[in-house]
A = this chain, B = another copy of it.
């Protein structure tokens, strides 16, 4: 799940010069039959769910730098070959190697109680003896600033209720350095979660290079609220925090690639996928084995139906989205010479829940063309085409002008499980997963086969 926001570009004239495209009726006439067969094949059984379960049960969590990630990549490559996909291979990407190590937090005063915590990805550890310090609970960056130098030497707890991920996650990403600027000794964060059963959420954080690096951890929503209530009652709060988190040298990982080669224009590519890595908790089933498997199964279904689109459809399981999106950037670098040949990029990274359709980054003209394809998905209710903000792994392509989209799904419960030990296959419904497969497959097939391509997105700073 991306946390950055997209810069909106003004639209230069060149974008309006796209070739005339199929009407809605022509699209339906030409592709209704194939789309119906794809949907029927994708939704006839629980194959996709079973594959998510097998992948995530077998390898568990798959953090960047881990052996389990590399073994999951090997397994995926091997199974893609067994499925008969073409040009199956790994593409090298260097990824960071952060290790959580042993960690714990305990409330010392006003009463002793273990706090349910997860260190944040990228955090430094504490000294070996840990940090024992008074806690100051704040509700926002403004509230922190209002405390000023009084937080010096203390542990700052951001107790910020979940509103919208892109907003609330700023405390996870930037909270430690904001607290360190005022001399805090450590940063605790109310987990970025829309619901909790004492279920802490990890995720990445960043240090501002101009201030001291202090340890940073999320605690369960319940514990954050408890400490806040204690502070409101005037009680002095002390916490002991112990973290052995550390960062090892970068390691070599791989993006997983498998294709169905185009019958007429194999050098033109529709790329779709998700990220094969996960956080180091739970099984990374919805974040994001589901995305990788949905794209992979989509291609398997297209191939099994004997469909031969004009262009190549490429499935990618990007490595290390979670900790800096190195996989997506490596993919763009590896394909620098042929990025112009990428006609569409599609990613699923919001959980393979009931799909509504796609959330698009592209020109108005591209949106209009996609809206002519969308009705093919009406029978499973996945025909929505809205404006989106991109997805972390395909952002480097979108920034290069490739039109693209994220799969748009029912996100009601995503942030209940995201980056927790509860991200397991049981949270996913086989029927909904199959509908995600169908949605990705129909878009990939039609966009790979239709006569014209979507107009490219104007790129800031490009010459025309």
Contacts and interface: CB of A to CB of B under 8 A. Distances in A.
A278 interface: no
A233 B50 CA distance: 11
Nearest to A59: B111
A198 interface: yes
Contacts of A59: 111
A203 interface: no
A421 B116 contact: yes
Interface stretch (A28-36, A223-231, A376-384, A389-397): A223-231
Contacts of A421: 116, 197-198, 220, 222
A54 interface: yes
B197 A58 contact: no
A429 interface: no
Contact of A226 (B57, B220, B420): B57
A198 B201 CA distance: 12
A458 interface: no
Nearest to A68: B111
Given A111-B60, A199-B198, A416-B197, A229 B422 contact: no
Contacts of A58: 110-111
A104 to B, nearest CB: 14
Contacts of A196: 197, 422
A46 to B, nearest CB: 12
Contacts of A230: 57
A225 B427 CA distance: 11
Given A222-B422, A422-B222, A426-B222, A229 B57 contact: yes
A24 to B, nearest CB: 42
A134 to B, nearest CB: 18
A198 B57 contact: no
Contacts of A199: 197-199, 422
Interface string A37-80: 00000000000000001100111100000000000000000000
Interface in A387-441: 416-417, 420-422, 424-426
Nearest to A282: B198
A113 interface: yes
Contacts of A422: 196-199, 222
Interface in A176-204: 195-199
A113 B58 CA distance: 11
The 4 closest A-B pairs by CB, nearest first: A197-B422, A198-B421, A197-B199, A222-B424
